[in-house]
């Protein structure tokens, strides 16, 4: 199961300006001639749609690897969005946070792992489930972490 290990608030009113290079970056050896910055971009503008309702979580586990979510990744989550069929969500199941794909069929819904070795969670009367938010971005390092 993939679990949430940390929760962070999205800071409002701050900028995260980073240089944006004009030319695409090659995976080989860089050319010194391509070494200039066109402008800067604010990652908050590109990654956070609704700052008051946005938070970040760090996750641990392998149940969402086929969705491109690895153990140690940071997820940007928007609590103001209603989960629709196919969204990746942060949910609590019986009081424990988890990350899963939300699937709805009429009035019934389930949480599905994106790893065939992990079971899906079908909602029944015995479970207490709450959708906390919809994952809008995944941030991970090129190396597998933790």
CA pair distance 119, 89, nearest whole angstrom:
16
Q: Which of 31, 71, 79, 100 is catalytic?
A: 100
- The DSSP line for 103-130 is EEETTEEEEE-SSTTS--EE--TT--EE
Annotation marks residue 79 as catalytic: no
Concerning whether 100 is annotated as a catalytic residue, the answer is yes
Measure the CA–CA gap between 104 and 82, rounded to whole angstroms. Answer: 12
Q: Which two tokens stand for residue 117?
A: 């070795």
Cα angle 58, 60, 65; round to 5: 105
Instruction: Copy the structure tokens of residue 67.
Output: 């969705």
Question: Rounded CA gap, 57 and 136, in Å?
Answer: 12
Catalytic residue among 63, 80, 141, 145: 63
Catalytic residue positions, numbered: 63, 100
């Amino acid at each position: 199961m993939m679990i949430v290990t940390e929760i962070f608030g999205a800071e409002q009113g701050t900028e995260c300006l980073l240089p944006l290079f004009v030319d695409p970056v090659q995976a080989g050896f860089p050319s010194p001639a391509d070494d200039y910055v066109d402008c800067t971009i604010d990652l908050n503008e590109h990654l956070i749609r609704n700052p008051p309702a946005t938070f970040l979580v760090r996750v641990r586990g392998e149940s969402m690897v086929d969705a491109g979510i690895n153990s140690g990744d940071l997820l940007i989550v928007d609590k103001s969005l209603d989960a629709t069929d196919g969204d990746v969500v942060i949910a609590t199941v019986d009081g424990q946070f988890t990350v899963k794909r939300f699937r709805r069929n009429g009035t019934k819904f389930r949480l599905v792992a994106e790893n065939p070795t992990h079971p899906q969670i079908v909602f029944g009367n015995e479970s207490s489930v709450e959708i906390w938010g919809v994952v809008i971005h995944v941030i991970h390092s090129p190396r597998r972490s933790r």
